[in-house]
């Protein structure tokens, strides 16, 4: 936490004389609308938003309070999310007699719901409060899960059959994910305003690490309660589900301590900035905006379909999500059904995933702040592509139970930590701030289409007797490898190339050895080595 507070202090400290955009935080806050009256926890402050201009900026105390509240919100929300999504609800549906197709729907329904994010972005931009919009959307989404909880107790008393309870659960799952998708773009736009740019890697890694810690405790405890409940696993899941809904609704109360943003004020300020920028260009005078903001303005005006860099990122996201969801929903099903492993083992492995996530995400956050998001995505994308192939060597033997499966889940947790963090941050990095909601929504829609397609194709192939899950794992691995090709062409301002990583991050002897190897492989005749700021610089090597 101290590193995050230090970064907040550095961001909110008086700016020094420098031409670097990172040294001029006031420029990034000009287009932000914040409450003019600070009434923490009161709804009066949620609608009285005014734009900050000139040298004004969001106070340090507001940043600290908002980020702490958001962290607590995410931590308690993780408890709810891991009860209603994941291995516990999968085991619940299997207990009702569901098959691979129904289990596949658990992942395909959220993906299809992502298609509604552009609609949610449109609605959110018509409101006057990010907080109220998110509060009511997510509050209703979580309260809906009381219906399956009531249905479970009706089932145990013989008033509803297993098929009816399955349909009720699927209906609530669908409605809940639709509401979540409608609120997602607004929440991301809210976070993009509240979290300083150079703090995003460290802050979101901290937020996700605490959420992972909550999940690390929730999954094993929830699995133990479900499996040891005297009324049976189905009734036990009903008890756990009620507790999860109460915790999920309670987590939303922390949002009252977060500084609200008015989308209408933001839009007016963006238009004013665009007019000022156009007038200054016609007069031949540069503006004070940062380099990134200047480069984003023509893109914001032209729209996402003229932004080749973001379209390349969308191509990567689409291919990656399709390849990922061909197999990802079926790993737990493979353990429970094909290998007949007890649910307590599976929940324990789920805890290992979150444990590895927790241990590595802070490392990935700091590394992403130093070298950029794209290199971290490339490295972990390669590791995640290999993962389905390693599942082919697992079985129900003691070696797999005690060694192979724990290692695979630990590797999965470490790579998912990097991918989850950097996929979100690179969207925040590349989306023009004037149209962030639209960019986030379109990216989510692409992820939704390709993810649902991947889950659907995987579900159909899993039901074929001549195909099966091992073949799906192989195809998924190949698709994951292929999806990394577009990522190589994505341009990120803070991202370092291979040559820059070699020159700046490796020790000098290793750096020289690696450069020599690249030189030999490239077939060049001469290699010129110079010193720049105490580091070797290599002429004639392009990577």
* CATH code, domain with 466: 1.20.1250.20
Inside any domain, residue 29? no
The tally of domains found in the chain comes to 2
Domain hosting 340: range is: 61-277+295-487
**507 and 441 fall within a common domain:** no
pLDDT for the residue numbered 507: 56
DSSP E strand stretches across 220-367: none
Pick from 444, 461, 487: which residue ends a domain? 487
**331 and 361 fall within a common domain:** yes
- 8 Å CB contact between 476 and 323: yes
**261 and 356 fall within a common domain:** yes
**253 and 357 fall within a common domain:** yes
**470 and 517 fall within a common domain:** no
Q: Which helix (H) or strand (E) holds 531?
A: strand 528-532
Query: Closest by alpha carbon to 70, among 244, 187, 182?
Result: 187
CB atoms within 10 A of CB 509: 9
DSSP classification of residue 456:
H
Count of alpha carbons within 13 Å of 366, Cβ hemisphere only? 8
C-alpha–C-alpha distance, residues 504 and 507, integer Å: 8
C-alpha–C-alpha distance, residues 19 and 28, integer Å: 14
**480 and 516 fall within a common domain:** no
Query: Closest by alpha carbon to 289, among 18, 8, 495, 24?
Result: 24
C-alpha–C-alpha distance, residues 189 and 195, integer Å: 10
pLDDT for the residue numbered 13: 38
Q: Chain centroid to CA 316: how far?
A: 15
Inside any domain, residue 290? no
**421 and 512 fall within a common domain:** no
Query: Closest by alpha carbon to 369, among 6, 34, 93?
Result: 6
**473 and 510 fall within a common domain:** no
Pick from 445, 464, 487: which residue ends a domain? 487
C-alpha–C-alpha distance, residues 238 and 194, integer Å: 37
**475 and 514 fall within a common domain:** no
Inside any domain, residue 47? no
Inside any domain, residue 12? no
Inside any domain, residue 249? yes
pLDDT for the residue numbered 414: 92
**360 and 508 fall within a common domain:** no
Contacts of residues 504-511 at CB distance under 8 Å and 24 or more positions apart, as own/partner, are: 504/535, 505/370, 505/371, 508/535, 508/536, 511/535, 511/536
Inside any domain, residue 55? no
- Could you read off the pLDDT tens digit of each residue along the chain, which spans 543 residues? 444 444 434 333 333 333 333 333 333 333 333 233 333 333 333 333 433 333 345 778 888 899 999 999 999 999 999 999 878 898 898 888 887 777 777 777 887 787 888 888 888 888 889 999 999 999 999 999 999 999 999 998 888 898 899 999 999 999 999 999 899 888 988 988 888 877 888 888 888 888 878 887 888 899 899 988 888 889 999 999 999 999 999 999 999 999 998 887 765 565 555 555 556 555 555 444 444 444 444 444 446 778 888 899 999 999 999 999 898 878 888 888 778 788 778 878 887 887 888 888 888 888 888 888 899 999 999 999 999 999 988 888 888 889 999 999 999 999 998 998 899 888 888 887 767 778 888 888 898 889 888 888 888 888 888 788 889 999 999 999 999 999 999 988 766 665 566 555 555 555 555 555 555 544 544 444 444 444 444 444 343
- 8 Å CB contact between 142 and 249: yes
Inside any domain, residue 255? yes
- 8 Å CB contact between 420 and 368: no
Query: Which class for 510: exposed (0-12), middle (13-18), buried (19 or more C-beta within 10 A)?
Result: exposed
**320 and 421 fall within a common domain:** yes
**164 and 250 fall within a common domain:** yes
Inside any domain, residue 35? no
C-alpha–C-alpha distance, residues 356 and 416, integer Å: 9
């Amino acid at each position: 936490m101290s590193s995050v507070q230090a970064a907040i202090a550095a961001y909110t400290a008086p700016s020094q004389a420098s031409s670097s955009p990172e040294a001029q935080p006031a420029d990034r806050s000009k287009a932000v609308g914040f409450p003019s009256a600070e009434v923490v926890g009161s709804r009066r402050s949620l609608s009285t938003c005014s734009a900050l201009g000139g040298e004004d900026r969001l106070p340090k105390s507001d940043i600290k309070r908002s980020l702490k509240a958001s962290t607590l919100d995410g931590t308690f929300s993780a408890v709810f999310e891991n009860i209603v999504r994941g291995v516990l609800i999968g085991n619940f549906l299997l207990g009702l007699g569901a098959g691979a197709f129904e289990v596949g729907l658990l992942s395909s329904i959220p993906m299809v719901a992502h298609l509604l994010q552009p609609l949610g972005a449109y609605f959110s931009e018509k409101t006057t409060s990010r907080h109220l919009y998110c509060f009511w959307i997510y509050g209703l989404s979580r309260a809906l899960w009381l219906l399956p909880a009531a249905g479970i107790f009706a089932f145990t008393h013989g008033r509803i059959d297993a098929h009816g309870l399955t349909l009720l659960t699927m209906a609530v799952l669908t409605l809940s994910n639709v509401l979540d998708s409608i609120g997602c773009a607004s929440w991301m736009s809210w976070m993009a305003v509240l979290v300083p740019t150079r703090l995003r890697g460290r802050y979101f890694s901290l937020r996700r690490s605490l959420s992972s810690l909550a999940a690390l405790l929730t999954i094993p405890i929830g699995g133990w309660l479900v499996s040891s409940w005297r009324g049976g696993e189905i009734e036990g899941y009903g008890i756990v589900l009620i507790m999860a809904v109460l915790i999920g609704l309670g987590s939303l109360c922390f949002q009252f301590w977060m500084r609200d943003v008015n989308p209408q004020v933001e839009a007016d300020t963006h238009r004013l900035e665009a007019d000022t920028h156009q007038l200054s260009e016609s007069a031949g005078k540069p503006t004070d905006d940062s380099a990134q903001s200047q480069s984003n303005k023509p893109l914001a005006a032209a729209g996402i379909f003229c932004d080749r860099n973001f379209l390349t990122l969308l191509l990567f996201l689409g291919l990656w999500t399709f390849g990922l969801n061909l197999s990802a929903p079926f790993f737990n099903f493979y353990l429970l059904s094909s290998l007949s492993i007890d649910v307590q083992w599976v929940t324990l492995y789920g805890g290992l995933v979150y444990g590895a996530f927790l241990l590595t995400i802070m490392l990935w956050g700091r590394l992403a702040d130093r070298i950029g998001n794209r290199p971290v995505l490339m490295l972990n994308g390669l590791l995640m592509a290999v993962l389905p192939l390693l599942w082919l060597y697992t079985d129900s033997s003691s070696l797999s139970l005690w060694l192979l499966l724990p290692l695979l889940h630990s590797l999965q947790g470490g790579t998912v930590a990097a991918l989850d963090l950097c996929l979100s941050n690179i969207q925040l990095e590349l989306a023009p701030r004037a149209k962030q909601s639209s960019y986030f929504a379109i990216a989510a829609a692409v992820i939704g289409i390709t993810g649902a397609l991947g889950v659907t194709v995987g579900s159909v192939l899993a039901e074929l007797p001549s195909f099966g899950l091992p073949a799906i794992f192989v195809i998924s691995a190949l698709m994951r490898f292929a999806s990394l090709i577009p990522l190589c062409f994505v341009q990120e301002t803070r991202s370092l190339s291979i040559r820059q990583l070699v020159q700046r991050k490796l020790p000098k002897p290793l750096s020289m050895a690696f450069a020599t190897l690249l030189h030999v492989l490239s077939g060049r005749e001469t290699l010129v080595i110079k010193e720049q700021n105490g580091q070797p610089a290599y002429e004639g090597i392009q990577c």
